[in-house]
Amino acid sequence: MRNTSCEPVSVGFTYKFLPAVYILVFIIGLIANGWGLKSLLQNWKKIKIINIFVLNLGITDILYLLTLPFLVVYYFFKNKWIFGDVFCKITRFCFNLNLYGSIGFLTCISVYRYLAIVHPVRVMGRITVTHSVVITIMVWILVSIQSLPDMFFTKTFENKPGKCYDTTSKVYVEDYLNYSLGWTVTGFCIPFLITLGCYGHVAVVLCTRNRIDKVQKQRSLKLLFILIILFSVCYFPYHVFKNLNLRARILLKKRECHKWFNEVYIAYQASRGLVCLNSALNPLVYLHGNEGLPAQFRQLFQQARQMVNRQPLSNSSSTPTAELAMGV
């Protein structure tokens, strides 16, 4: 349907939804990743090959989490960016490093688990820490090369001061869609297919080979479950609705109006919140890769419970009043 003007999308949803999600992810993600990285560094001498990837996974999360307070301010004040064009591009670049760096390192972890379970004899003693470091450097380089073109697209707009586009302005939206589609294939689809193939084969091996240790089976299945959550909840919806929203913007630029524009816009903003959650969910990989963390969680829980039990009951006579006031 072609009109001279189109109904505006529900931008108010963005201002309410994203700041709340960013604040939650910042608090949980910073605590969880900080604790996980501290544990890995404390046990550096005992570090395993897979933990090299886990360590870098945490670094990508920290880089992105540190930019969230600035984005909270931006969306809280309804798209008024006060930190300059350069820092806007740096903020968006850190998001891309986190997103595609996370996907890259999760793919490396999947390939490593595949080799360790399906081909243990062939890889025994052949994959070293040095190999993992080299692969890690390659992942950082590839992700940086993929993300670098995004820096050359306009993130602010002269006629709309204060904007900080997560993609680009409508002037270059056609070119950005082409770039985004290629980015989706190389940065998401190919790693996803590799991960899916690895864990599909691993699942078959775990179900057919009885000699595999039960603990190893449980650990592999837990990691598979974590990766399914990350890819299906965080990564897949974001890439689908990002490209659909770019397509809708191109049609809007041509004055073509469709009822699904608003639904796609809201779904895209929701997917931005979901993809942000990967920085809070990635620490679950720490629980898989580090046997000491679950014990630490249990110890802290026991200490907290003991502290609560030791607190004396005070002002017991005022309890009924308090209960009445709370409607108990």
Q: Vertex 317, ends 313 and 322: CA angle to 5°?
A: 90
Q: What is the mean pLDDT of residues 288-307?
A: 59
Q: Answer yes or no: is 311 within a domain.
A: no
pLDDT tens per residue, range 37-48: 887 777 666 666
Q: What is the mean pLDDT of residues 173-184?
A: 95
Q: How far apart are CA 183 and CA 167, in angstroms?
A: 13
* pLDDT of 113: 84
Nearest CA among 236, 234, 200 for reference residue 220: 200
Helix (H, G, I), strand (E, B) or coil at 282: coil
Q: Answer yes or no: is 172 within a domain.
A: yes
Nearest CA among 200, 269, 271 for reference residue 235: 271
Which DSSP symbol is given to 255?
T
Q: Give 225's contacts (C-beta < 8 A, 6+ positions apart).
A: none
Q: Answer yes or no: is 319 within a domain.
A: no
pLDDT tens per residue, range 245-277: 999 999 998 888 888 999 999 999 999 999 999
Q: Answer yes or no: is 118 within a domain.
A: yes
**pTM for the full model?**
0.84
Does 103 have pLDDT greater than 60?
Answer: yes
Q: Answer yes or no: is 7 within a domain.
A: no
Q: Answer yes or no: is 182 within a domain.
A: yes
Q: Vertex 84, ends 81 and 85: CA angle to 5°?
A: 100
Mean pLDDT of the chain: 82
CB contact at 8 A, 98 and 42: no
Tell me which residue range forms the domain holding 29. 12-304
Q: How confident is the model at residue 316 (pLDDT cuts 50, 70, 90)?
A: very low
Q: Answer yes or no: is 312 within a domain.
A: no
* pLDDT of 318: 41
* pLDDT of 159: 55
Q: What is the CATH number of the domain that holds 214?
A: 1.20.1070.10
Q: How far apart are CA 257 and CA 19, in angstroms?
A: 29
Query: Percent of the chain beyond pLDDT 90?
Result: 44
Look at the chain and report how many structural domains it folds into.
1
